[in-house]
């Protein structure tokens, strides 16, 4: 395996869950998510030679992934689905009971449904916040000032909180 291949594989191993979350947020269905996931991996592979380590690998990966997701969204005019998302299987050391599983899924689905209602950039802000990125890192990924990140993130969270209250 070449250095480039090794770096790529390590990167995907570390960040695949985050990539899947981005795909889940920006693509309307399972097929669209898998297509977007592949598109992002291809863009990461193609952009890899230009990565010079000026930013962290995570910041760079987020940039490529979000740029690809928004580009795909624009080009394919993907329309967000209004209906609830598909149920997601849960795994863990202790498998949840069927009742717990439904409640867990419902909580995650409700949060995703609320995120779906946000504007595209606010969705990216929330995804980065979910990954517990600092304002500095979010600003680096999105090309915004830290103060703008703070203002927009606060507004987006307030909207999400309101929508979750409505849905409860």
Partner 1 sequence: MKLEDAMQHLRMHEEPSGDRGSEAEILALVKARAEEFDRSIRRRDKRELIAAVFVFVVFSVVLVSASWLTRVGAIIVLGGCILTYLMLRRANGQAQTTAGLPLAEMLRAERAKVDAQIRLLRRVLWWYVAPFAVGPILVFAGIAGFGMMSAVYTVFAVALGAAIYHMNQQAVRNNLVPRRGELDRLLRQVEP
Round to whole Å and give the CA distance between 129 and 30: 24
CB atoms within 10 A of CB 113: 18
DSSP state of 94: S
29 touches partner 1 by CB under 8 A:
no
Q: What are phi and psi of 72, to 5 degrees?
A: -65, -40
User: For residues 33-92, which are near partner 1 according to CB under 8 A?
Assistant: 33-34, 37-38, 41-47, 50-51, 60, 63-64, 66-68, 70-71, 74, 86, 88-92
- Are 73 and 26 within 8 A, CB to CB? yes
Figure out which of the listed residues 20, 57, 81, 150 binds partner 1, where binding follows CB under 8 A: 20
User: For residues 94-153, which are near partner 1 according to CB under 8 A?
Assistant: 104, 107-108, 110-111, 119-122, 124, 129-130, 132, 140-145, 147-148, 151-152
At closest approach, how far in Å is the CB of 114 from partner 1?
A: 8
154 touches partner 1 by CB under 8 A:
no
How many angstroms from the chain centroid is the CA of residue 81? 17
DSSP state of 118: S
The per-residue DSSP string of 28-70 comes to SSHHHHHHHHHHHHHHHHHHGGG--SSS-HHHHHHHHHHHHHH
At closest approach, how far in Å is the CB of 82 from partner 1?
A: 19
> What is the contact surface with partner 1 in residues (CB under 8 A)?
5, 8-9, 12-13, 16-17, 20-21, 23-24, 30, 33-34, 37-38, 41-47, 50-51, 60, 63-64, 66-68, 70-71, 74, 86, 88-92, 104, 107-108, 110-111, 119-122, 124, 129-130, 132, 140-145, 147-148, 151-152, 157, 160-161, 164-165, 167-168
């Amino acid at each position: 395996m070449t250095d480039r291949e090794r770096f790529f594989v390590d990167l995907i191993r570390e960040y695949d869950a985050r990539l899947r979350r981005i795909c889940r947020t920006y693509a309307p269905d399972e097929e669209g998510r898998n297509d977007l996931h592949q598109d992002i991996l291809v863009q990461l592979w193609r952009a890899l030679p230009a990565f010079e380590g000026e930013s962290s690998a995570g910041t760079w990966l987020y940039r490529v992934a979000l740029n690809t997701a928004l580009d795909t969204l624009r080009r394919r005019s993907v329309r967000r689905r209004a209906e609830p998302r598909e149920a997601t299987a849960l795994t863990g050391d202790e498998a949840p009971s069927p009742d717990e599983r439904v409640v867990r899924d419902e909580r995650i689905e409700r949060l995703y449904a609320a995120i779906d209602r946000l504007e595209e950039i606010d969705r990216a802000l929330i995804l980065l916040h979910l990954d517990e990125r600092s304002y500095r890192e979010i600003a680096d990924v999105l090309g915004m000032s830290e103060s703008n990140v703070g203002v927009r993130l606060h507004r987006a969270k307030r909207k999400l909180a309101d929508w979750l209250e409505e849905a409860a």
